[in-house]
Structure 1
Amino acid sequence: MATTGLLRFGHISASLAVFLGLLGALRSGHCDEQVPLILWTSEGTSLPRLSPPALGHIVEEQQLASHLEEALDAGPRNVLLFLQDKMSVEDFTLYGGAFGNKQDSVFPNLEGALMSSSSSLVLPAVSRTASNAVIGQLQDQLETSPLYLDGETLSQLRLNASSPALLVFRLPYGVVADLMSAKDVLSGNDEAIGQVLSTLKAQSVPYTAVYTALRPSREAASLAVEAGLGGGRSLLQSGRYRERERQRQIKGKAGLYGPVEFKEGEDTCILLWARNLTVGILRRGRWETHDLTPATFGKDVSPRLHGSSCDKSKSKLVLNYEKVLGHSSFKLTFALSQRHYKVSARRWFTLDAVELEYDGTRATFNGSRNVYAPAEFSYSCASVASFNAPLLVPRSPGDPANQWRVSFRDFQIQGFNVTGRTFSYASDCAAFFSPGIWMGLLTSLLLVLVLTYGLHMIMQLHTMDRFDDPKGPAIAVPQTE
């Protein structure tokens, strides 16, 4: 059973990593649907004393709403919500110093904030449904809309302690796993938290901070293997269950949120869907990333598409954003075209380019040689990126795109022959002859050659026409000179 509890700290004298490490050691199952939640206030403010749940209890949505309501009734109503893509208690256990030197903790800013806070609340296990409802619960209780920011834009905002505000800061985890390790990502997230808290401290604005995630990260066993601690015991079924769940989510992705659609008149002519859109820029030898997914997809999200166009031969989808990686204006453009190819006797469409336009500068990635599909189909790929077996490459060595990276997960696009608001049959980017298939074919060919050689040798065997009889006279073989 998973162990959860609501703990109230006065002045924290021990490291957060050690505390969560002890909790992680007690947990043994059902970690796939739980995430931790940490709540604290700025110096000089305190939270009411709340009784912890019973041992083994997982905090659900209704109970979490009650805790948040009691905290906001007594604490500051300027709320900072640090929302990470994935997180589990084991992240603190492995990278917070619980199994090694505490000086190696990657959460110095978070631990410092908790130690300086007059009171803190830690929920080691919150159901995934409850964590996904945190934004809506805070919005209802504060009666204000969420404002999505980053550390740089926060410095330009002036908060008023008398009026409530809900500031949401999205922190990556798995979305940039290809760019850096999980430990580096968590360290970068902690630095982002420290930057935000320093800005609020400089403005002398009291706040209530909440740190949680949308979904759990990997299970404790895989995290332990990454840290070199050994895998430990695990359920044999858990891996298959997670894979089935992932496939179910991919098949039911339309139920998560609908695709971006651009209409020319009354008819939809371009559709775009992705589980994740991420861009990154290289600054001072380090990759800084930004997740565009929340501003692109969702029930209540309407991305600005001005500049988009489509006709029978060319289509262009332009996604307009504000304040991305320090740029006041930012555009993500997908340029597609279709033409008839005589060799295949059919029409094909290609993704000619993906362009990033920011403050008058344009970075262009080519994709026409790698991203294509029949004109009647849509194009689908599990990963379309500009790194690690890239499908998108910079247009030229001197193009600004060499300083950028783009990554699209579970990507699907259709720019021609769209019927209604649904994608046509998808042409997947996965090749038919995968490395596993080639290995099987070559191994089978080698075995066939060995068998053929063996049969050939057997067929060449012949019996002697005369035999030496040991009871009779020996066979005389005349010698000739």
Structure 2
Amino acid sequence: MAAGSRLVWPMVFLSFFMAAFGTARSTAQVPLLMWSTHGLPPAASLSAGHITSNEQLASYLGLAFGSGAHTVLLFLQEKLSKDDFTVFAGVFGNKQDGVFPNLEALLRSSVSSVTFPAVAWSPSASTAALLEELLGVSPALVDADTLSRMDVDASVSNLLIINLPYCISPLKSCQEVLCDNDAMIAKVVRTMDDKKVPYTAMYTGAQPSQGISSPSMAAKQPAIGRSLLQAVVPDIKPPIMLNVSGGPCIMLWAQNLNVSLSPTAEWTDLAAETPSLEGSTCNATNSLLVLSYPSGFNLRFAMSQRFYPVSARNWFTLDWVQLQSNGSMASFVGSHAISAPAEYSFHCGALRSFRDALLVPNSTEESVVDWRLNFIDFQIQGFGLANRTEFSYASDCAGFFTPGIWMGLLTSLLLLAIFVYGLHMIMQLNTMDRFDDPKGPSISVPQSE
């Protein structure tokens, strides 16, 4: 391996954990690393000092394990903090200096990996309990030897917990214990690879390994100095992703999914809830995304693709959107503008069923005729994802000739017409062909009385 490639991963590896170094020390937290043999939904970019709450972690894991059977390997170390990576990973993170060479190699070589530098920790909440609730199975405590003799059924969900010690042995240094844990992780993963069972692995701590310092009094003072120059990066929720056969099939993201059951009723933002994807399907020509929300609303997005000889390529369209509530259903047909090449995604700043509507109501029942949709910063892709964990290039619903562009063009044409007219008038000026001769007789003009 080239020297440059040896330096890139350790710098990225350490930067994730240094990102939470500032204000994160005032709250109990543990790092969490995930990697998988199949696709994982992308995590939102984290600002410096951000601590992932239990609700945010539960929302992300709900997307990752929302449907189908999953085998999860939870490497649960007795204690773990980001300092264990920054102190013992070595200056360059190579095998001579660091204690996590196998872990680094697994994160590099996996199909997808996600890192949470700081996850909020409390004695009453644990990652194991959260996974047990999401997967609906009881955990099994295993190690590399017992796992090699087990029959792991990939058709059902499995939660396998591998407990790892921390630096409490008087016979070994902390660095040696972490090296042994790194070797145990590699041994367990090799056993799963030999069994040819797809899995998702997680490495975290049962509790923080470092004492949490109390927040300083300075942190309670109002921000001064360069606070106006500092940019605050808002939390970005991950997209809704349907995984089929180990890979993503449909992706949807929206800042707001507002629905209303009457023109005077308040809007309900479904983007703030975590939906169930049960009933969603996709194939080479048709995709159906079913979002069932705890509040009782259901959204259905139907897409299809076909080949158009004129453009010599496949295009996909959003055929219709259905909103269900309390046994009633309203249907909205997508206009021709909701389309994009099959390998692209579709994006629209405001996808509405009223006022410049791209979703045309198609319901005749009086009880649902006033239902409305208003999707803000909406993006969807139902085809061409393959193993991608992010949207493809987006085809936007906004036309090229917007009102602002038309105003600029008309103003420019008016000024150009004035310029051309003035230039034409200047070019039509002619010099006089007769002048007064001061040495000759003057020109007399008779005057009549």
Q: TM-score, normalised by structure 1?
A: 0.44
Q: Which has the higher contact order (CA 8 A, sep 6+)?
A: 2
Q: TM-score, normalised by structure 2?
A: 0.47
In our comparison, the structure showing a higher alpha carbon Rg is: 2
